[in-house]
Structure 1
Amino acid sequence: MNWITNFVRPRINSMLGRRDIPENLWIKDPESGEMVFHKDLESNQYVIPSSGHHMKISARERLKFFFDNGEYEPLENPKVFVDPLKFRDEKRYIDRLKDARTKTGLEDAILNAAGAVEGLPIIATVQDFAFMGGSLGMAAGEAIVHGFETALVMKRPLVLFAASGGARMQEGILSLMQLPRTTVGVDRLKEAGLPYIVVLTNPTTGGVTASYAMLGDVHIAEPGALIGFAGPRVIEQTIREKLPDGFQRAEYLMEHGMVDMVVSRLELRATIARLLKILLKTPMPQERGEPEILPPALVDGNARPQA
């Protein structure tokens, strides 16, 4: 027994009124190693001020930053049969679901909400990567379809924030069936003439990339986001070649015509609002005699949509 550590130090700390410091008070920048104060990072939408690195955020935080005044109305997702295959690996699938629900406070990986962006009423669908890697299962697929159907009924455009590692392996073929189902939802929205904008966040991979995440009218990616079907390590092992620097990152994909623009999270609201006004043929500020204010992402010629 170390009496200095176990007895003397606690007595001194109690006498001086020392308090434990929360572990998340400072957050380390994965790129530069710089320590950033948590409150400063939160006020900057979890974008590192010095490096511009975009941290992962929860679905609720995403909606709070995106909608006007952070106000929105969550949509209740349809109920589905839980664990239809009675799947078990190192742990029962039903237990993994319980852990994910406790951790995130969500029923599954998808959160739908109705709100407004710069006064434009829209439906937003957000994938939360913290819920089992944002994987697409029956509940998530049903929620996405519900988002499309709600947008059709309310005649609103839909903005989808994709973040996923792909289909949920614990549901087997039932998870893969969600790919065509969500694709039909996209088609129905487009047939109704309603805009569908996709924001690709880090990471967006697997079957999600192979379906609704790449079927938008406009594809926006956050800086540095990993976007692809198979991972770069799998591709390198398959083709036995070294991949280019930045392969499958947002900037690389924009240069090669896979996404339309790379936009900072800080400029997403303004950029999406402007795109929706164009797609919905809403009068622009100059047509109403008001000064036009372009978001920096649209002022920069390199960030314009590909022709």
Structure 2
Amino acid sequence: MIQPGDDMANGGAPGSAQDHEERLKIPQDVRGKLRRDAPLDKLVWFKAGGVADWLFEPADRQDLIAFINALPPGVPVMPLGLGSNLIIRDGGIPGVVVRLGKAFAGVETGEGNVLRCGGGASGILVSSTARDAGVKGLEFLRGIPGTVGGFVRMNGGAYGREVADILLDCDVILPSGDCVTLSSAELRYSYRHSALPEGAIVLSARFEGEPGDPAEIGAEMDRIAAAREESQPLRTKTGGSTFKNPDGDKAWRLVDAAGCRGLTMGDAQVSEKHTNFLINKGEATSTDIEGLGEEVRRRVAESQGVTLEWEIKRVGRP
């Protein structure tokens, strides 16, 4: 473990990350955990992928701000939540991966049916807290396998609702080190997309619902959980929905119509339970998983005349 104040270049490993390593230093007041060449496969749902040049787990918000401000310009920064909807390529992640832990996982209720949520809080925790407070309209977050930071960035949605419907604003630290508050309008949301800059990290967000009965809210959450269990391969190594739904159609239907149900590449497979899910049956590499997704896209384009867009984010070196 490199301790605060140590020169991160000491013993620098060769490779494309070396230039960054030679220039990075840790300020004395950074208190979080920093690991070099940190394996990421256990931190993502697919259980595959390479290492991070550096993995930083900040102790709290001020710790993260100090760390980001200490980085030289141009050093790549990538936030990591629960690791769903993500393929980390086998060559690993350049620069720094920032993983938000317990210090960023809190959810607080406020006046006017507003919840303030840390960027590392899970969708399940947010929706459960809203239920207990009698706040309606956030139930769909029960069906999003990720954290606030991820689904604010991607305008995550499920069961007819999306983050754009409930977000008031979010606190963000930009790659420059500046902290800003961005409104929902400023994020310019569209389907599974926002204008949040690459490398920006969502520190917290405020969601607004409406008054509701906790029992009815809980019943809707239970319905969502049961529907997911019945239709999706939740108990496998998967990344969630693979492709965006094209206008007026469903990605799973197109994949199925192209004859890709059960298609494999190495240990990667198109789920037979839900064809918009890729699964790792055992020891699939990220190359297998991404390659299978590209083969599915090719077959759908050839047979259905539709070019599917990836919903899962693919990051890192090939």
Richer in strand (by share):
2
Same fold by TM (over 0.5)? no
Higher relative contact order (CA 8 A, sep 6+): 2
Richer in helix (by share):
1
After TM superposition, the score normalised by the length of structure 1 is 0.26
After TM superposition, the score normalised by the length of structure 2 is 0.26
Greater C-alpha radius of gyration: 1
